[in-house]
């Protein structure tokens, strides 16, 4: 073997080493850091529930929901999206919105039903995993119409986690007790799990708020600050209202989805008919020649 031949694997190894230790831009790290903070918050919610501090466990899950809404937008804003970040986000969502709410609601109420309550807690966590897996697969669909980006299939995992905690919001409002309505809580949590894995279309909200007119910047900021103040001052009432409004909007999203689907099908049929007429006209023109 000549010295020249011996240099080739060395050069390849050096190139591989440089690629492995290549500096990573900060814009790629920032979204992943937010995801990891959200994951810490979700795991902390479990600890707080074990210690019986359920108010803090709810706050930790809500904080994880807020961070989940931010990390993707920040990644797109900084152009820091990556396959690693997508996988990390999905795994964190399973813990934050599947495992954590299931454990919290079980320790708060469902444990009084023993094995039956644990089965429903498992059902909520499993439905979250299936929901996230289906969402990841749907991202690779190249034939998905653009208008369907405005809808999720089923309730998304963060919203499902917030909805699953609705009995706890009502409990802290004094509407229900921890053990008195355990069977109702069980049926409701099972229903939330079903909503996540169902084919029901729900508004995604991804297109909402991406651009704000200059004259609306100040009013939007004031509304956000006012809403945050209400959420801090009247936490349980506001969380209950948000959950109930979200549930009320599900039928609205179904109706709107079907209307847009019908419009899309009619437009596609019209386009197919126009294409067929155009092809027939071209065929007749060729026959005359």
Residues with Cβ within 8 Å of 106's Cβ and at least 6 positions away in sequence, in order, are: 117, 118, 121
Domains of the chain: 24-208+219-288 (1.20.120.1760)
Cβ pair 196, 154 in contact under 8 A: yes
Kindly give the confidence (pLDDT) of every residue in the chain, 289 residues in length, as a single tens digit, with 9 standing for 90 and above. 555 455 455 655 555 555 555 666 667 788 889 999 999 999 999 999 999 999 999 999 999 999 998 887 787 777 777 788 888 999 999 999 999 999 999 999 999 999 999 999 999 999 999 999 998 887 766 677 777 888 899 999 999 999 999 999 999 998 887 777 899 999 999 999 999 999 999 988 765 555 667 777 788 888 889 888 998 899 999 999 999 999 999 999 999 999 988 888 888 888 777 877 787 777 777 777 6
Residues with Cβ within 8 Å of 109's Cβ and at least 6 positions away in sequence, in order, are: 117, 167, 168, 171, 178, 179, 181, 182, 185
Rounded to 5 degrees, φ, ψ at 152 are: -100, 155
> Which pLDDT score, from 0 to 100, does residue 211 have?
65
> Which pLDDT score, from 0 to 100, does residue 86 have?
84
Structure-token pair, residue 109: 């109420």
> Which pLDDT score, from 0 to 100, does residue 216 have?
74
Structure-token pair, residue 12: 């390849």
| Burial class of residue 198 (count of CB atoms within 10 Å of its CB; 0-12, 13-18, 19+) | middle
Tally of CA atoms within 13 A in the half-sphere of 144 that contains its CB: 15
> Which pLDDT score, from 0 to 100, does residue 40 have?
96
Give, in order, the Cα–Cα distances in Å from 282 to each of 240, 268, 270, 272, 279: 62, 21, 18, 15, 5
> Which pLDDT score, from 0 to 100, does residue 217 have?
74
Q: How far apart are CA 235 and CA 222, in angstroms?
A: 19
Residues with Cβ within 8 Å of 61's Cβ and at least 6 positions away in sequence, in order, are: 41, 42, 45, 96, 97, 100, 101, 104, 161, 162, 165
> Which pLDDT score, from 0 to 100, does residue 62 have?
95
**Cα–Cα–Cα angle for 213, 218, 220, rounded to 5 degrees:** 75
3-state secondary structure 181-242: CHHHHHHHHHHHHHHHHCCCEEECCCCCCCCCCHHHHHHHHHHHHHHHHHHHHCHHHHHHHH
């Amino acid at each position: 073997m000549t010295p020249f031949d011996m240099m080739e694997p060395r050069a390849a190894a050096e190139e591989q080493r440089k690629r492995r230790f290549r500096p990573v831009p900060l814009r790629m790290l920032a979204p992943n850091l937010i995801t990891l903070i959200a994951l810490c918050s979700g795991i902390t919610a479990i600890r707080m529930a074990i210690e019986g501090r359920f108010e803090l466990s709810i706050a930790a899950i809500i904080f994880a929901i807020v961070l989940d809404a931010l990390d993707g937008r920040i990644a797109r804003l900084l152009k820091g999206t990556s396959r690693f970040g997508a996988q990390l986000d999905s795994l964190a969502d399973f813990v934050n919105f599947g495992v954590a709410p299931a454990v919290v609601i079980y320790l708060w109420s469902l444990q009084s039903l023993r094995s039956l309550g644990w089965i429903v807690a498992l059902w909520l966590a499993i439905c979250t995993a299936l929901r996230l897996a289906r969402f990841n697969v749907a991202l690779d669909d190249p034939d998905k119409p653009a208008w369907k980006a405005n809808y999720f299939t089923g309730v998304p995992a963060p919203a499902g986690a917030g909805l699953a905690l609705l009995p706890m919001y009502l409990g802290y409002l004094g509407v229900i007790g921890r053990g008195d309505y355990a069977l109702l809580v069980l049926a409701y949590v099972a229903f939330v799990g079903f909503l996540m894995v169902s084919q029901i279309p729900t508004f995604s909200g991804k297109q909402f708020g991406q651009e704000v007119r200059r004259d609306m910047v100040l009013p939007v900021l004031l509304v956000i600050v006012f809403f945050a103040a209400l959420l801090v001052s009247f936490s349980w009432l506001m969380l209950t209202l948000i959950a109930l409004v979200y549930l009320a909007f599900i039928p609205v999203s179904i109706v709107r989805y079907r209307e847009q689907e019908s419009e899309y099908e009619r437009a596609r049929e019209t386009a197919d008919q126009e294409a067929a007429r155009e092809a027939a006209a071209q065929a007749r023109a060729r026959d005359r020649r």
